[in-house]
Amino acid sequence: MNIKITGVGSYVPENVQKNEDFQKHEFLNEDGSAFGHPNAVIIEKFKAITGIVERRYVDPALTTSDIAYLAAERAIQDAGIDPEELDYLIVAHNYGDVPHQQIQSDTVPSLASRVKHKLRIKNPRCVAYDILFGCPGWVQAVIQANAFIKSGIAKKCLVIGAETLSRVVDPHDRDSMIYSDGAGATVVEASEEEGGIVAHESATFAFNEANYIFFGKSNNQLLDDERRYIKMHGRKIYEFALTEVPNAMNACLQKSGFGIEDVKKILIHQANEKMDEAIVKRFYKINGTTPPEGVMPMSINKLGNSSVATVPTLLDLILKGKLEDQELKKGDVILFASVGAGMNINAIVYQF
């Protein structure tokens, strides 16, 4: 028995926020002081480092569970299954449903229960729950689905990654330009066909690294506001990821029995273009070679960093022929990899 992804779907919001839309923002340092450069310079430097030109925000009427449901519908349709046959419905997110212009996250009931309700699934044995694992949440949920199916307690699982980061960004923090909204979903099930999940690797570094990504006050210290926003220590994350992510990817590849020459694509969390490029270069360097051209498909330039949604959305775009000069064929070996709050890291070797 093999465990395969049999259906994919995603929801990419239509609302495009371009870099120039941030020209009128008042960007401040963490201590509230002003930057020594005009916004045009800040934005240009941001683009050079991250590769981001634009990002997507959801419509004000939508929440994270709404777009998770929309992606799930498409994945179910793609897999051609009856949703009543699902044994598990897992939603990876980090901030719950945050209504437009509200300050409180809503996680009761769980987003997974809300998605199950929206899908009108009657089967009570379809167990719905959420997973909080930072940006690697979707990858980790796939690893959990794999374990459920391997153990014999499940045959079909729906795994979703969804986030509306536009609701938790500080407009006075230049890092706010990184984040975006989106949802990606996959059906994972037992299959008699060859391929599927071959190996996986996960780790949590929390002794010194737990608070590299955190919730903090606005950089604008004049605001009389108790609201908290997503914050990060970018340099520390970069240095951490550059060492630990390639190590996890390599450990996973070694477990799989495949060699570096077998890897056709690396679908890595779209967090920062320069960081991702450095991670992949380090991974290939460990294996005594250099990355082949086109091995790392990128969507961050147009879609930004949508956290748990980036990897499944990227997979959907490739499989649906929506990413230029990128394709996956039967027999291709790929690596999923991610890093994020926690600090959590994971990787999967998968064969189509």
Q: What is the DSSP string of 270-300?
A: -S-HHHHHHHHHHHHHHTTS-PPTTSS---H
Please report the pLDDT score of residue 1 as a whole number. Answer: 84
345: phi then psi, degrees, rounded to nearest 5: -135, 145
Least confident of 19-28, 256-265, 329-338: 19-28
Query: What's the CA gap between 144 and 149, in Å, rounded?
Result: 9
Query: What's the CA gap between 343 and 170, in Å, rounded?
Result: 21
- Spatial CA neighbour of 181 closest among 199, 197, 196, 168: 168
| Amino acid at the residue 156 | K
CB-based contact 189:4 (threshold 8 Å)? yes
Domains of the chain, each with CATH number or no CATH:
2-194 (3.40.47.10), 198-351 (3.40.47.10)
Strand partners, 346: 202, 338
Is residue 225's pLDDT more than 80? no
Q: What are 74-101's pLDDT values in tens digits?
A: 999 999 999 999 999 999 999 999 999 8
Is residue 25's pLDDT more than 80? yes
Please report the pLDDT score of residue 224 as a whole number. Answer: 79
Is residue 214's pLDDT more than 80? yes
Is residue 108's pLDDT more than 80? yes
Query: What's the CA gap between 302 and 299, in Å, rounded?
Result: 6
Per the structure block, which two tokens stand in for 210? 């737990």
Distances in whole angstroms, Cα of residue 158 to Cα of each of 136, 209, 338: 16, 31, 19
Strands (E), 58-154: 88-92, 127-131
Is residue 28's pLDDT more than 90? no
Please report the pLDDT score of residue 195 as a whole number. Answer: 92
Of residues 124 and 36, more confidence is placed in 124
Please report the pLDDT score of residue 244 as a whole number. Answer: 96
For 235-250, what is the mean pLDDT? 95
Please report the pLDDT score of residue 104 as a whole number. Answer: 83
What mean pLDDT is reported for the chain?
Answer: 94
